Amino acid sequence: MLTESEVLSTLQMVQNEHLDVRTVTLGVSLYDCQSDDVQRLTQNIYNKIYRLGRSFVALCDQVGEKYGIEVVNKRIAVSPAALVAAACRPEEFVEVARCLDRAAHDVGVDFIGGFTALVEKGMAPGDTHLLEAMPEALASTERVCASVNVASSRSGLNMDAIARMGEVLKETAAATADRDGLGCAKLCVFANLPEDVPFMAGAYLGAGEPDAVINVGVSGPGVVKKAIDRAVAANPELSLGELSETIKRTAYKVTRVGEIVGREVAKGLGVGFGIVDLSLAPTPNVGDSVGEIFQSLGLSHIGVPGSTALLAMLNDAVKKGGAFASSSVGGLSGAFIPVSEDLNIAEAAHQGHLGLEKLEAMTAVCSVGLDMVALPGAIPAVTLAGIIADEMAIGVINHKTTAARLIPVPGKQAGDKAVFGGLLGEAHIMPVRDMDGSAGFIRHGGRIPAPLHSLKN
């Protein structure tokens, strides 16, 4: 039961600290749209998304206005395109992507996810064709997001798929070279990708999900920071255990707000409610940064020694508070540390406090992984594959989701700035050591077997 002061503090979050619901995502199953004729397939896809989604954005705004809480992003996630359009050739997959883009535009959502392939154990022809189409599909659409699951704790790492993704990233960056490789900002490579993620670029609707469902992503790094600042100002001698309790209580309140909004949107649309994703997701705005939480807890910058331990504590406290607030928790549920989307993290990387290796270490204790990392345009595809393989191994061994959203920026070098715009932000390009050292390993190909967990250490 919340105390009177906690109710008042929730009102303060809404009024003064920009508490919002980061994303409400409508999941739409497209399996009943399948056809061996691409024209009929795309028409079926468009009709279903438009029928279920045409009142979605207005309803989110209406519910947000009712509670005085902004729903920042309204998005749609669909069944994996590689399965829905398995019979399509590469050029037809591009048509499917353009259909998704058109449908997203017409219902008014900012992103649509599900241009997805699940290839952790091997690739079927539909998967291969989707990957071939991906660079053009992402370059010729505005709102389509893509994801590829290349590893899982049960199947191990598909190194052939990882090597191919290194090439796809280079091709996608080249296709969007005039926008600093923007296409790669809409493409995420995963290990252990959940079926109910509401956040982009990884959102898709899994095979075990309902025909239509609402999933909610709550966030609130600014709210957590303010709560810590208040607690420390009241008592500078607070221990980390006591500060963890403060974060936990804050996450509880943020989660309750998200679930109330999500359930009301689901009821209004006449579809089921799925999950609340308990992630701390920053934006490029001042005061809405995960990196600033590190400074509130005593570190000079994110990336200095102590950062991994602090992130582990933060992640755990958010999950504990959120899990107590909702019985429908899913998605990624962790703390995002996207470089370009978080002003404080981007600045720490630019000043040299945060390198690629430290970022990778921190992803062992948080969701999601190497997120929105701008890299030199000259980086070889096999080196990108090596970075992806390292990140996937962390997820596979630790039974958690990890991801790599890497952006090789054409024509630019370490230290140059890449600008992606809007929520995707901007960042200086991070250096990569030993860019020519991965080729021999990656070219072996095959599959790294699933780990043995009975001898865990």
Q: If pLDDT is split at 50, 70 and 90, which confidence band does 13 have?
A: low
Angle between helices 56-67 and 240-269 (to 10 degrees): 130
Per cent of the chain over pLDDT 70 is 95
Q: What is the pLDDT of residues 15-28, one digit of tens each?
A: 666 677 889 999 99
For tokens 């069944």, name the residue.
79
Q: Which two tokens stand for residue 296?
A: 């509130």
> If DSSP codes are grouped into helix, strand and coil, which group holds residue 186?
helix
User: Domain 1-456: which CATH class?
Assistant: alpha beta
Query: pLDDT value at position 10?
Result: 64
Q: What is the pLDDT of residues 138-190, one digit of tens each?
A: 999 999 999 999 999 999 999 999 999 999 999 999 999 999 999 999 999 99
What is the average pLDDT across 318-339? 84
Q: Tell me, what amino acid is at 64? A: G
Query: pLDDT value at position 279?
Result: 82
For residues 251 and 396, which has the higher predicted lDDT (pLDDT)? 396
Query: pLDDT value at position 72?
Result: 87
Give the distance between the most distant pair of CA atoms in the chain.
68
Q: If pLDDT is split at 50, 70 and 90, which confidence band does 5 have?
A: low
For residues 82 and 226, which has the higher predicted lDDT (pLDDT)? 82
CA distance 241 to 399: 26
Measured CA angle at 155 (ends 153, 157), to 5 deg: 85
Half-sphere exposure of 197 (CA within 13 A, CB side): 30
Q: Which of 395, 421, 390, 422 is closest to 406 using CA atoms?
A: 390
What is the average pLDDT across 397-401? 92
Of 234-238, 251-255, 365-369, the range with the lowest mean pLDDT is 365-369
Residues 232, 235, 236, 238, CA torsion sign: negative
What is the average pLDDT across 317-339? 85
Mean pLDDT of the chain: 91
Q: In this structure, how many other beta carbons lie within 10 angstroms of the beta carbon of residue 58?
A: 13
What is the average pLDDT across 78-100? 97
For residue 397, pLDDT beyond 90: yes
What is the average pLDDT across 204-223? 90
For residue 454, pLDDT beyond 80: no
Q: If pLDDT is split at 50, 70 and 90, which confidence band does 334 have?
A: confident
Query: pLDDT value at position 17?
Result: 63
Please give the full DSSP string across 237-300, using - where no structure is assigned: T--HHHHHHHHHHHHHHHHHHHHHHHHHHHHHHT-EEEEEEE-B---SSTT--HHHHHHHTT-S
Q: What is the pLDDT of residues 50-69, one digit of tens each?
A: 999 999 999 999 998 888 88
The radius of gyration of the chain from alpha carbons, rounded to an integer in Å, stands at 21
Per cent of the chain over pLDDT 90 is 72
- Altogether, the residues listed in the chain come to a count of 457
